[in-house]
Amino acid sequence: MRHLLACLLASALVLTGCSHTAAGRPETGQRDVDPGYFFAGAVPLYGQTVGAGDAAVLAYLRALRRIDVCGLLNRDVMAKIGEVNSIGTLYAFNECDLDVKVSGSSTRKIVAVDLELAGDPGDTVAFRVGDTPVYAGAPDSCVYGVPLPLSKLPGAAPLRTQKRPLAKIGLIADQDCGLAQRIAVAVAERVTSQPLPARDALAAYPSALAGRDPCEAMTVVGADIAHWDIGAQPPYDCRFSIRRSGSPDALALQVHLQPELVDAATEGLQRRAQDGVEIFVDHRFCSALSFVGEPMRRRRVGGGYLAAGSLVIRPAVVVDIGGDNCEEAAAVVARAARLYT
């Protein structure tokens, strides 16, 4: 799905050219952010008992959700690269992409940055920016990982796992490693010299669902939680299993909060109203989704938004179960949609 969205977005931006852009730079620059914000408050456990190591992982995942990912590529960072035409969070809530006119080139580039708890990068250091290592991604990927200094923030507990918070920088539908390296250097300089940007009312790209925890959905499944797979969770995924009456086997669920391309996400799915909520059920894979917000749009740097065109992307809650439990997926997604609306 991400590849499809990337290709469609790239095509749309090329076709629209500069007709929807505005002069100037991104509006969000350096501003005062309380460094204690990212780990403030007890991490919700939703009635479950977890160890200190898992609690730390949950705190870091919440901290990643509290970062305004588009704010990492602020006007000070991108001024060294080129002119930003528009920004958006259209593939995933922990991702931001920018349409950039690179200085000295007529070609427009789409730059993407993702925030995640990544596995230990080991010895794959591509280069250093001062004391900060920048890690190489997969061979020939032109993706670079910049460590995020979350462990230095107030309230951060030690991570008892090999995973570490990274900002991964690359280009969409492009293999310009030199440009990706320049942006990675700029991001590394930014995260080591300025406060991390907060996902709040002043964020470069606010989204209500992006501020929510996917594991809140455990409160509406209507069954006992058998296992919570915390170590495997990306920031906007929650994986757990539930006990079912009359069955000795636990049922595994995955809940995702993510933007969805409406036409592609619903093609071939059964549309129904359930408990007052519109849902779409995929009987092939026993998954279900419900849209829980208005269509997402790309922001222009000079203010306002680009015309929506034919690409309609909306925030959604998705429940994957698999097997022959399609009705269970439908019931959970209907309850979760009411929770996140």
Distance, in Å, from the CA atom of 141 to the CA atom of 162, rounded to the nearest integer, reads: 22
For residues 313 and 260, give the distance between their C-alpha atoms in angstroms, rounded to a whole number. 5
Q: Is residue 123 part of a domain?
A: yes
pLDDT beneath 70, residues of the chain:
1-31, 120-123, 308
Residues 153 and 268 occupy one common structural domain? no
Residue 283 located in a structural domain: yes
The structure tokens 């629209």 sit at 16
Q: How many domains does the chain have?
A: 2
Instruction: Looking at the structure, tell me whether residues 280 and 245 fall in a common domain.
Output: yes
Q: Which of 123, 158, 193 is the last residue of a domain?
A: 193
Please tell me the predicted confidence (pLDDT) of residue 300: 86
| Residues 167 and 235 reside in one and the same domain | no
* Final residue in a domain of this structure, among 139, 167, 193: 193
pLDDT value at position 149?
96
Cα(242)–Cα(198) distance, integer angstroms: 34
Are 176 and 291 contained in the same domain? no
Residue 247 has φ and ψ, to the nearest 5°, of -125, 135
Whole-number pLDDT of residue 21: 36
> How many CB atoms lie under 10 A from the CB of residue 47?
9
With vertex at residue 61, the alpha carbon angle to CA 286 and CA 241, rounded to the nearest 5 degrees, is: 35
In this prediction, residue 162 carries a pLDDT of 85
For residue 201, being part of any structural domain is answered with no
Identify the bridge partners of residue 240 per DSSP, sorted by sequence position. 228, 253
Domain co-membership, 243 together with 139:
no
Mark whether 305 and 334 lie in a shared domain. yes
Query: What's the pLDDT tens digit per position in 148-171?
Result: 999 999 999 999 888 899 999 999
pLDDT of residue 123: 64
- Least Cα distance to 94 among 71, 114, 117 occurs for 114
In a domain, 200, yes or no: no
Residue 204 lies in a domain: no
Shared domain check, 168 and 42: yes
Residue 148 within a domain: yes
Specify whether 165 is located in the same domain as 213.
no
Structural domain harbouring 268: 209-340
What confidence tens digit (pLDDT) does each residue in 259-296 have? 999 999 999 999 999 989 999 999 999 999 999 989 99
> Which of residues 137, 165, 193 is at a domain's end?
193
Look at residue 20 in the predicted model and tell me its pLDDT: 39
Looking at the fold, whether 176 and 214 belong to one and the same domain comes out as no
The DSSP code for 152 is G
- d(C-alpha 18, C-alpha 301), whole Å: 12
Burial of 328 (0-12, 13-18, 19+ CB in 10 A): buried
Q: Among 291, 312, 261, 236, which Cα is nearest to 5's?
A: 261
Rounded CA gap, 111 and 122, in Å? 25
